[in-house]
């Protein structure tokens, strides 16, 4: 099966400064690895998101702050981790626009799977706060767009090593969205305990530092995949962070590329059971470039239905 890949050169222009973990080389590594693969990929230029798309999940104060490009060439810091540069507004709009276009594509009955190779990432961004390298919450914007276009049940699966606090905050009172998340704990941002359940639509599965791949796989097989099955989503969205890899410098995960491939296969299976196979996945974390590239290829290989 062909997978449509959305990306845009503007996503490389989001400047986070020298030595920052979330830099343009991450996206280059993912794109180069996918281009070098033999996978059946349909490359598309990501459009920009509209203000209407953004304001479904974000407050006007945050939107205005991010879209007001700095008048100088300096980097402005929204918090100690999160940068805003002259290229950031366009990058953020393209990253959000990619997921919107991908949702439109799969819901129109074309290829049933899409991957968004974009940055900045999004799952830490809350309604009024940009944080944790994230400006707009791309996956939340995708979910809200699907709800606005006739989908009644959207599931979001987040396997980034850091908890998707922003996605949870946006949807914890929205029963039409199921959010399932595996992540290391304790770790930034300090949220995501198993007792955080929203209105019954949130399922967190934290794992301790140095948990092995078997333990993380078991959380998905025994806890999170069954929750998705019970919800019967019409669309599955994926926050695809690869920073639980054993080589990643920002956490203490022990996963390898093959584990991300395995998880991708399980998510494809659940989408086939309930969502007509429809999956939109977008890049979140991953900061060891060779590991990131290999893991992204393993994930997209699973989306293609290959092993």
Contacts of 9 (CB under 8 A, 6+ apart): none
Question: Three-state secondary structure along 21-68?
Answer: CCCHHHHHHHHHHHHHCCCCEEEEECCCCCHHHHHCCCCHHHHHHHHC
Of 124, 163, 183, 299, which residue is the catalytic one?
124
The two three-digit tokens of residue 279, written as one number: 């999956």
Sort 79 into a burial class: Cβ within 10 Å, 0-12 / 13-18 / 19+: exposed
Q: Are 300 and 116 in contact (CB under 8 A)?
A: no
CA–CA distance, 171 with 59 (Å, rounded to integer): 14
Residue 175's domain comprises: 3-303
Q: Domain containing 50 — which CATH number?
A: 3.40.800.20
Q: State the Cα–Cα distance between residues 161 and 172, nearest whole angstrom.
A: 20
Closest to 214 (Cα-Cα) out of 253, 250, 252: 253
3-state secondary structure of 169: helix
pLDDT for res 1: 83
Buried b (16+ CB within 10 A) or exposed e, 80-101: ebbbbbbbbbbbbbbbbbbbbb
Helix (H, G, I), strand (E, B) or coil at 116: strand
Contact 172, 202 (CB under 8 A): yes
Count of domains forming the chain: 1
pLDDT of residue 71: 62
Please, which residues have CB within 8 angstroms of residue 105's CB and are 6 or more apart in sequence? Answer: 4, 111, 114
The percent helix, strand, coil of the chain (3-state, each to 5) is: 40, 15, 45
CB atoms near residue 8 (< 10 Å)? 23
Q: pLDDT per position in the chain (307 positions), as tens?
A: 899 999 999 999 999 999 999 999 999 999 999 999 999 999 999 999 999 999 999 999 999 999 987 667 889 999 999 999 999 999 999 999 999 999 999 999 877 999 999 999 999 999 999 999 999 999 999 999 999 999 999 999 999 999 999 999 999 999 999 999 999 999 999 999 999 999 999 999 999 999 999 999 999 999 999 999 999 999 999 999 999 999 999 999 999 999 999 999 999 999 999 999 999 999 999 999 999 999 999 999 999 998 7
Helical segments of 108-200, H only: 138-148, 165-171
The Cα 102–Cα 16 span in angstroms is 26
Give catalytic status of residue 124 as yes or no: yes
The two structure tokens encoding residue 154: 């959207």
Look up the pTM and report it: 0.98
Place of tokens 């980097």: 75
**Strands, E, within the chain: which ranges?**
3-7, 41-45, 76-77, 83-84, 113-116, 154-158, 177-184, 202-207, 235-240, 279-283
If you ran DSSP here, which 8-state letter would residue 156 be given?
A: E
Helices (H) and strands (E) in the chain, counts: 10, 10
Reduced to 3 states (helix: H, G, I; strand: E, B; else coil), residue 233 is coil
In 3D, which of 307, 306, 302 has the Cα closest to residue 115?
A: 302
């Amino acid at each position: 099966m062909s997978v449509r890949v959305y990306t845009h050169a503007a996503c490389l222009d989001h400047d986070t400064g020298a030595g920052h973990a979330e830099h343009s080389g991450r996206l280059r590594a993912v794109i180069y690895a996918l281009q070098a693969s033999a996978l059946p990929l349909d490359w598309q230029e990501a459009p920009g998101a509209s203000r209407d798309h953004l304001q479904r999940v974000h407050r006007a104060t945050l939107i205005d702050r991010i879209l007001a490009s700095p008048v100088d060439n300096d980097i402005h810091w929204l918090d100690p981790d999160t940068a805003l540069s002259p290229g950031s507004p366009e990058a953020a709009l393209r990253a959000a626009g990619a997921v919107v276009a991908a949702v439109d594509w799969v819901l129109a009955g074309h290829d049933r799977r899409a991957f968004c190779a974009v940055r900045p990432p999004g799952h830490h961004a809350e309604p009024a706060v940009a944080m944790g390298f994230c400006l707009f919450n791309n996956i939340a914007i995708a979910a809200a767009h699907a709800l606005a276009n006739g989908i009644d049940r959207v599931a979001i699966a987040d396997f980034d090593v850091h908890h998707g606090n922003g996605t949870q905050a946006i949807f914890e009172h929205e029963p039409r969205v199921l959010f399932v998340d595996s992540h290391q704990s304790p770790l930034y941002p300090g949220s995501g305990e198993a007792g955080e359940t929203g209105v019954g639509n949130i399922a967190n599965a934290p794992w301790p530092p140095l948990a092995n791949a078997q333990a993380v796989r078991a959380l998905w097989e025994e806890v999170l995949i069954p929750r998705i099955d019970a919800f019967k989503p019409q669309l599955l969205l994926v926050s695809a962070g690869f920073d639980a890899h054993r080589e990643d410098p920002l956490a203490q995960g022990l996963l390898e590329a093959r584990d991300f491939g395995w998880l991708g296969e399980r998510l494809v299976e659940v989408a086939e059971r309930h969502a007509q196979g429809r999956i939109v996945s977008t890049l979140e974390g991953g900061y060891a470039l060779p590991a990131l590239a290999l893991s992204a290829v393993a994930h997209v290989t699973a989306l293609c239905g290959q092993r």
